A and B are shown apart, each in its own frame.
Chain A
Amino acid sequence: MTGVEEGTASLHALGQDGVLLRFSLRVDTQATAAVQFVARALGDMSPAGVVDVVPALSSVLVRFDPARVTRDDIARHLRDLAALAPRQGKDLNAARRIWHIPAALGGAAGPDLAEAAAMAGLGPDAAIRQLAETPLRVLAIGFAPGQPYLGLLPDIWDIPRQTALTPRVEAGALVVALRQIVLFANPSPTGWRQIGLTAFRPFQPAADDPVPLRAGDEIRLSLATTDEIAALVRDGDPKGGARLEVTP
């Protein structure tokens, strides 16, 4: 359970109570589809002794209670599911939940947009158009509570992180790197480039559903002005004008 292989699924012990199933070491839509398949299947099965299932972009972690099950039990479950995953989840299935989230891109709301667009070989206006037109999927929730990794953007957006850290971006900031967008839950330093701002708060601790986004949800950015986003922030609604469309 310790080897690192490229291209095939591999199982790894993580600490005393974790098993990681890895489909790839890279960002890869097929791997994400397989991860979401496995995480959903484990959610449906809820096997005894499973404490947490943590889907990331290309790997999924299962935490277990060693007093109830063994590492080998968990590995066996994961091996079985991994064998089913590639056939059943080659691409991300059509999303059942689509979020429309107002976002200001570029200008004061996205100080690094022009630079990021240039690295992608686009002018600022073309970049904004492409970002708004690309249907994004929630690839994973993590790093900070509720915080989504969104993607994947077209290949030209495979731009590296900055060499220096931006000391602080605000909650709601949209930052880009490696064909992904992250929507920050809290003010944070970041090595990614800020391209926009939303009034949406992906972590709402006092709400019935503190983390409204789910891995697999589709996100569409609806263009708004910096002033409109500022007004939504002032309203104080953590949804920030977002609308959820659920298809049966």
Chain B
Amino acid sequence: MGMTVVQKILARASGKKAVQVGEVVEPAVDLAMSHENAALVINQFQEIYKGTGLEPRVWDASKIAIIFDHRVPAESAKTATNQKKVREFIEQQGIQKFHDIRGTSGGICHQILPENGYVRPGMVVLGTDSHTTSHGALGAFAFGVGATEMASVWSLGMALNIEVPATIRVEALGKFPDYVSPKDFILHLIGQISAEGANFKVLEFHGEAIKKMNTSGRLVLCNMAVEAGATSGIVPGDSETVRYLQKEAKVGEEIPLTIPDRDAAYEKTITIDVSLLEPQIACPHTVDHVKPVNDTEGLKIDQIVIGSCTNGRLDDIAVAAKILKGQDIAKGVRMLVFPASWKIYRESLERGYLTDLIDAGAVVMNPGCGCCLGVHQGALADGEVALSTTNRNFPGRMGNPHSEVYLCSPAVAAASAITGVITDPRKGAN
């Protein structure tokens, strides 16, 4: 019996010829990512060394990446103190893949890792962030862990007690209609299989629509795989992966690809014809509460958010700018735009997208997680409704348990900004 792509990656990283689903392995970690929560990882890391007589040293300073993005610039003295502590640790340990709050190199971790060519096909990537699943877009086995588990990785260089997960194969057939995007595809899939439909499993994406999808779109799919409970989402590396890494991330060396065997065993296969998809909306207060846009059309919106690790990339901002160019955002609607990195911010600026958005009335924020997780930069009032291209809509997600968050694609968000109510971008476009 052949192996899925994740089985192949885990076999390689565990020094085995083959691994079976359910088998326990201890794979070597190729990349270990943290953000501000590195402050907690550091505490736990030092705790591990207590009483051992050993000096706390990370196993490999070149394989650790730390990116400040969740609360940038610091929203409180507490965060500023945590960030300072992390900077000191980075200096002391010689960690090089560090992205501080800087216009030349900063951004959201799930954009910074691909953008800098840190993630390669076949890698084992762990991150202290649930959306670490994103990096499956480059053919890596990437998953989220808690701070203590990361501290363990920093000490030993391997992930302990990993059970080889079963894989669900997702076949995406056909061609996306205009104004229907990878976001609509993944929301539809989560709605179909539920928020725990892939718990402890991998979603492996295939099919004509994936083959033609750029890395930006694949990042959307893998980013939100965790919202179906998946350990990881993965698009096996292909010519697009090589193109992205060489042309966009400027990787000079050869890029070997890991692909699944033809006779790999999948738990099941889900087939979706994307040509039949409509724009989708995830309604409060779970990500699997998904409806076609028409079922929610006309709902009044107070705040529109475009950005985040899900939809803050250049093509997302381009779509929004195209729809909003020469238009006015509806009175009473606040629109916030968070590019996913400063590189994307600059490119959006140079192409005129940011001017188009600002002229329409949008507020362009600094790259970072922004209001997605309800810490700062755009809290909601009691009873307010947000329409957002981010990835979560749980109660209180945007900082107020008495507000509502609807999730959508950048096209739906931009079209709705003009009308002030949830709007089908296909109608606005005609």
* A and B part of one assembly: no
